[in-house]
């Protein structure tokens, strides 16, 4: 059975902080405010993965009240989420994420973001998709008050790859084997 999860995150833009998206430090006049590095796209991806596995959310695993996570790289947190999925015997099929930001232009950084996420989770780059869009000047992202991200993923449990002896030895895929 395939499991699907979705994640969403938003952080306020502020001066005096680095803008980190997908593990890439993007040179820009503002960065995102948060307890960690405030990487909204990685946070959305982590929530999607945790949700698909019914392992709650990033707030439960990495509370912003815990000083050990102050300023931490979200890529490190993503690696921990990957380990949790492995411990619970989940395989990631794919991840698709969208960053919503009026500025800066993110196209030059997307490939590196994809590589960073794929490497953190031991995936092939073709299992991860990250894209960016604007909201044409509308809303808090359009007025450059913040940046948000959405992500969706699909997981499969390792048991789903095993044959089920009760169905005739091949997971019910071959009716001749049931006779």
Give pLDDT tens digits for 138-168. Answer: 999 999 999 999 999 999 999 888 876 544 5
103 part of a folded domain? yes
Question: What CA–CA distances, in Å, run from 160 to 137, 166, 170?
Answer: 45, 14, 12
Read off the CATH number of the domain in which 103 is found: 3.30.1330.50
Q: Was 58 annotated as part of a binding site?
A: yes
76 part of a folded domain? yes
48 part of a folded domain? yes
176 part of a folded domain? no
The total number of structural domains in the chain stands at 1
178 part of a folded domain? no
Check residue 178 and give its pLDDT. Answer: 36
Q: Was 45 annotated as part of a binding site?
A: no
Joined together, the tokens standing for residue 16 give 């005096």
The range of the structural domain enclosing residue 11 comes to 1-160
How long is the chain?
179
Q: Was 87 annotated as part of a binding site?
A: no
Q: Was 65 annotated as part of a binding site?
A: yes
Q: Was 158 annotated as part of a binding site?
A: no
Helices (H) and strands (E) in the chain, counts: 5, 7
Q: Was 140 annotated as part of a binding site?
A: yes
57 part of a folded domain? yes
- State which residues of the chain have pLDDT below 50: 166-167, 169, 174-179
Q: Was 37 annotated as part of a binding site?
A: no
132 part of a folded domain? yes
171 part of a folded domain? no
Q: Was 18 annotated as part of a binding site?
A: no
Check residue 161 and give its pLDDT. Answer: 84
Whole-number Å distance between alpha carbons of 34 and 11 = 7
Q: Was 165 annotated as part of a binding site?
A: no
Whole-number Å distance between alpha carbons of 161 and 2 = 11
């Amino acid at each position: 059975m395939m499991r699907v999860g979705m994640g969403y995150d938003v952080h306020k833009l502020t001066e005096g902080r680095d803008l980190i998206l997908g593990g890439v430090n993007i040179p820009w006049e503002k960065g995102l405010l948060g307890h960690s590095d405030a990487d909204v796209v990685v946070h959305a991806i982590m929530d999607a993965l945790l949700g698909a596995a019914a392992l709650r959310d990033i707030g439960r695993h990495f509370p912003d009240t815990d000083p050990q996570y102050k300023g931490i790289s979200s890529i490190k947190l993503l690696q921990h989420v990957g380990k949790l999925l492995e411990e619970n015997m989940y395989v990631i099929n794919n991840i698709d994420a969208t960053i919503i930001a009026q500025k800066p232009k993110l196209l030059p950084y997307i490939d590196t973001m994809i590589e960073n996420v794929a490497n953190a989770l031991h995936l092939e780059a073709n299992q991860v998709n990250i894209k960016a869009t604007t909201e044409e000047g509308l809303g808090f992202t359009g007025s450059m008050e913040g940046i948000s991200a959405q992500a969706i993923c699909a997981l499969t449990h390792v048991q789903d790859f095993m044959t089920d002896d009760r169905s005739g030895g091949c997971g019910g895929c071959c009716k001749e084997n049931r006779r």
